[in-house]
Amino acid sequence: MFERYGQYFLNLFLYLIQSLVRYLYYGFQTKLLNMKKIFALLLFVGITASVSAQDKLPSVQIKDIDGKTVNAQELNNDGKPMIVNFWATWCSPCKKELNTISEVYPDWVDETGVKIVAISIDDSRSNSRIKPYVNTKGWEYEIYNDANKELFQAMGGVNPPMTFLIDGNGKIVYTHNGYSPGDEDELYEEVLKISEE
Protein backbone atom coordinates (compact mmCIF):
# COMPACT_ATOMS: atom_id res chain seq x y z
CA MET A 1 0.00 0.00 0.00
CA PHE A 2 2.88 2.37 0.76
CA GLU A 3 4.29 1.94 -2.71
CA ARG A 4 0.92 2.88 -4.17
CA TYR A 5 -0.22 5.72 -1.91
CA GLY A 6 2.67 6.63 0.36
CA GLN A 7 4.59 8.63 -2.23
CA TYR A 8 1.40 10.39 -3.30
CA PHE A 9 0.62 11.50 0.26
CA LEU A 10 4.22 12.53 0.84
CA ASN A 11 4.23 14.67 -2.33
CA LEU A 12 0.88 16.19 -1.41
CA PHE A 13 2.15 16.98 2.08
CA LEU A 14 5.31 18.62 0.70
CA TYR A 15 3.25 20.62 -1.80
CA LEU A 16 0.99 21.90 1.00
CA ILE A 17 4.01 22.88 3.09
CA GLN A 18 5.52 24.76 0.13
CA SER A 19 2.21 26.52 -0.50
CA LEU A 20 1.95 27.55 3.13
CA VAL A 21 5.50 28.91 3.14
CA ARG A 22 4.85 30.87 -0.09
CA TYR A 23 1.59 32.18 1.33
CA LEU A 24 3.32 33.43 4.47
CA TYR A 25 6.46 34.66 2.66
CA TYR A 26 4.68 36.97 0.26
CA GLY A 27 3.00 38.72 3.14
CA PHE A 28 -0.61 38.08 2.33
CA GLN A 29 -2.93 39.02 5.15
CA THR A 30 -3.89 35.78 6.82
CA LYS A 31 -7.01 35.27 8.77
CA LEU A 32 -6.99 33.00 11.78
CA LEU A 33 -9.75 30.86 10.31
CA ASN A 34 -7.78 30.24 7.11
CA MET A 35 -4.68 29.31 9.10
CA LYS A 36 -6.71 26.85 11.16
CA LYS A 37 -8.02 25.25 7.98
CA ILE A 38 -4.53 24.99 6.50
CA PHE A 39 -3.14 23.56 9.73
CA ALA A 40 -5.96 21.02 9.99
CA LEU A 41 -5.42 19.96 6.38
CA LEU A 42 -1.66 19.58 6.89
CA LEU A 43 -2.25 17.58 10.06
CA PHE A 44 -4.74 15.30 8.30
CA VAL A 45 -2.43 14.70 5.34
CA GLY A 46 0.54 14.05 7.65
CA ILE A 47 -1.40 11.55 9.74
CA THR A 48 -2.83 9.87 6.66
CA ALA A 49 0.63 9.57 5.11
CA SER A 50 2.10 8.05 8.25
CA VAL A 51 -0.79 5.63 8.71
CA SER A 52 -0.58 4.55 5.08
CA ALA A 53 3.17 4.07 5.41
CA GLN A 54 2.70 0.47 6.50
CA ASP A 55 -0.23 -1.90 6.33
CA LYS A 56 1.85 -4.95 7.29
CA LEU A 57 4.99 -5.53 9.31
CA PRO A 58 8.04 -4.55 7.23
CA SER A 59 11.05 -6.75 6.60
CA VAL A 60 13.43 -5.48 9.30
CA GLN A 61 15.86 -7.45 11.46
CA ILE A 62 15.29 -7.36 15.24
CA LYS A 63 16.66 -9.53 18.06
CA ASP A 64 14.84 -11.70 20.54
CA ILE A 65 15.54 -11.44 24.26
CA ASP A 66 18.41 -13.93 23.92
CA GLY A 67 20.06 -12.03 21.06
CA LYS A 68 18.90 -14.22 18.15
CA THR A 69 18.16 -12.24 14.97
CA VAL A 70 14.59 -12.44 13.66
CA ASN A 71 12.87 -10.83 10.67
CA ALA A 72 9.91 -8.79 11.94
CA GLN A 73 7.90 -9.75 8.88
CA GLU A 74 7.94 -13.36 10.08
CA LEU A 75 6.19 -12.53 13.38
CA ASN A 76 2.72 -14.10 13.38
CA ASN A 77 0.11 -15.76 15.52
CA ASP A 78 -1.16 -18.57 13.27
CA GLY A 79 -4.16 -16.64 11.93
CA LYS A 80 -5.14 -15.09 15.27
CA PRO A 81 -4.81 -11.43 16.36
CA MET A 82 -1.41 -10.14 17.40
CA ILE A 83 -0.52 -6.96 19.30
CA VAL A 84 2.86 -5.38 18.59
CA ASN A 85 3.83 -2.91 21.29
CA PHE A 86 6.93 -0.70 21.14
CA TRP A 87 8.26 0.18 24.58
CA ALA A 88 11.48 1.02 26.46
CA THR A 89 12.81 0.42 29.96
CA TRP A 90 13.21 4.19 30.42
CA CYS A 91 9.59 4.89 29.38
CA SER A 92 7.22 5.01 32.39
CA PRO A 93 3.96 5.01 30.35
CA CYS A 94 5.26 2.02 28.38
CA LYS A 95 5.91 0.01 31.50
CA LYS A 96 2.57 1.01 33.04
CA GLU A 97 0.72 -0.12 29.92
CA LEU A 98 2.46 -3.49 29.63
CA ASN A 99 2.25 -4.13 33.38
CA THR A 100 -1.48 -3.35 33.35
CA ILE A 101 -2.11 -5.61 30.37
CA SER A 102 -0.04 -8.41 31.93
CA GLU A 103 -2.63 -8.69 34.72
CA VAL A 104 -5.39 -9.55 32.21
CA TYR A 105 -3.29 -11.08 29.44
CA PRO A 106 -4.07 -14.74 30.31
CA ASP A 107 -7.80 -13.93 30.04
CA TRP A 108 -7.25 -12.14 26.72
CA VAL A 109 -5.43 -15.19 25.37
CA ASP A 110 -8.17 -17.58 26.56
CA GLU A 111 -10.95 -15.44 25.08
CA THR A 112 -9.39 -14.34 21.77
CA GLY A 113 -6.14 -16.23 21.18
CA VAL A 114 -4.30 -12.90 20.93
CA LYS A 115 -0.52 -12.80 21.27
CA ILE A 116 1.46 -9.78 22.46
CA VAL A 117 4.85 -9.02 20.99
CA ALA A 118 6.66 -6.39 23.07
CA ILE A 119 9.50 -4.78 21.13
CA SER A 120 11.87 -2.67 23.17
CA ILE A 121 13.56 0.29 21.51
CA ASP A 122 16.28 0.46 24.15
CA ASP A 123 19.59 1.23 22.47
CA SER A 124 22.92 -0.50 23.13
CA ARG A 125 23.47 1.60 26.28
CA SER A 126 20.31 0.39 27.99
CA ASN A 127 19.31 -2.89 26.32
CA SER A 128 21.04 -4.87 29.08
CA ARG A 129 18.13 -3.79 31.33
CA ILE A 130 15.45 -5.44 29.19
CA LYS A 131 15.77 -9.09 30.26
CA PRO A 132 16.08 -8.38 34.02
CA TYR A 133 13.06 -6.06 33.89
CA VAL A 134 10.93 -8.55 31.94
CA ASN A 135 11.95 -11.42 34.27
CA THR A 136 11.15 -9.34 37.35
CA LYS A 137 7.68 -8.50 36.02
CA GLY A 138 6.99 -12.04 34.82
CA TRP A 139 5.63 -10.93 31.45
CA GLU A 140 4.39 -13.77 29.27
CA TYR A 141 4.86 -11.74 26.07
CA GLU A 142 7.29 -12.44 23.25
CA ILE A 143 10.09 -9.92 23.83
CA TYR A 144 12.32 -8.42 21.13
CA ASN A 145 14.75 -5.53 20.85
CA ASP A 146 14.90 -2.99 18.05
CA ALA A 147 18.07 -1.27 19.29
CA ASN A 148 18.56 0.86 16.16
CA LYS A 149 14.84 1.73 16.01
CA GLU A 150 14.70 0.62 12.37
CA LEU A 151 11.40 -1.24 12.75
CA PHE A 152 9.95 1.46 15.00
CA GLN A 153 10.76 4.18 12.46
CA ALA A 154 9.64 2.06 9.50
CA MET A 155 6.25 1.81 11.18
CA GLY A 156 6.01 5.56 11.71
CA GLY A 157 7.00 5.52 15.37
CA VAL A 158 7.95 8.78 17.02
CA ASN A 159 7.54 8.25 20.76
CA PRO A 160 6.78 5.09 22.70
CA PRO A 161 4.57 3.48 23.70
CA MET A 162 3.16 2.72 20.29
CA THR A 163 0.77 -0.16 19.75
CA PHE A 164 -0.31 -1.92 16.57
CA LEU A 165 -3.06 -4.51 16.33
CA ILE A 166 -2.56 -6.99 13.51
CA ASP A 167 -5.32 -9.27 12.27
CA GLY A 168 -4.96 -12.95 11.42
CA ASN A 169 -3.96 -12.08 7.84
CA GLY A 170 -1.04 -9.93 9.00
CA LYS A 171 -2.75 -6.61 8.25
CA ILE A 172 -2.41 -3.70 10.67
CA VAL A 173 -5.97 -2.78 11.63
CA TYR A 174 -5.49 -0.47 14.63
CA THR A 175 -2.77 1.85 15.86
CA HIS A 176 -2.46 3.75 19.13
CA ASN A 177 0.27 6.06 20.42
CA GLY A 178 0.81 6.90 24.09
CA TYR A 179 -0.85 5.45 27.17
CA SER A 180 -3.49 6.61 29.61
CA PRO A 181 -5.25 4.33 32.09
CA GLY A 182 -8.15 2.70 30.28
CA ASP A 183 -6.42 2.54 26.88
CA GLU A 184 -5.99 -1.19 27.40
CA ASP A 185 -9.79 -1.56 27.48
CA GLU A 186 -10.09 0.18 24.12
CA LEU A 187 -7.37 -2.07 22.74
CA TYR A 188 -9.16 -5.17 24.01
CA GLU A 189 -12.41 -4.03 22.36
CA GLU A 190 -10.51 -3.82 19.06
CA VAL A 191 -9.06 -7.30 19.63
CA LEU A 192 -12.56 -8.66 20.26
CA LYS A 193 -13.84 -7.12 17.03
CA ILE A 194 -11.27 -8.82 14.84
CA SER A 195 -11.27 -12.11 16.72
CA GLU A 196 -15.01 -12.43 16.05
CA GLU A 197 -14.58 -11.96 12.28
Q: Tell me: the pLDDT tens digits for 33-82? A: 565 555 555 555 455 444 444 689 999 999 999 999 999 999 999 999 99
pTM: 0.73
pLDDT at 197: 73
Whether pLDDT at 5 is above 50 = no
Higher per-residue confidence, 71 vs 23: 71
Residue with the bigger pLDDT between 93 and 31: it is: 93
For residue 27, the model assigns a pLDDT of 54
Give the pLDDT confidence score for residue 40 in this predicted structure.
52
What does the pLDDT read at residue 49? 46
- Give the pLDDT score at 148: 95
The mean predicted confidence, pLDDT, of the chain is: 84
Half-sphere exposure of 45 toward its Cβ, with a 13 Å CA cutoff?
17
Residue-wise pLDDT for 171-188, tens only, equals: 999 999 999 999 999 999
- Per-residue confidence (pLDDT) for residue 55, from 0 to 100: 86
Which stretch of 1-15, 100-114, 140-154 has the lowest confidence by average pLDDT? Answer: 1-15
pLDDT of 164 > 60? The answer is yes
Asked if the model's pLDDT at residue 153 lies above 50, the reply is yes
pLDDT at 89: 97
Contact 156, 54 (CB under 8 A): yes
Contacts 24+ apart (CB under 8 A), 189-197: 190/165, 191/81, 191/83, 191/108, 191/112, 191/114, 191/165, 192/111, 192/112, 194/81, 194/165, 194/167, 194/168, 195/80, 195/81, 195/111, 195/112, 195/113, 195/114, 197/167
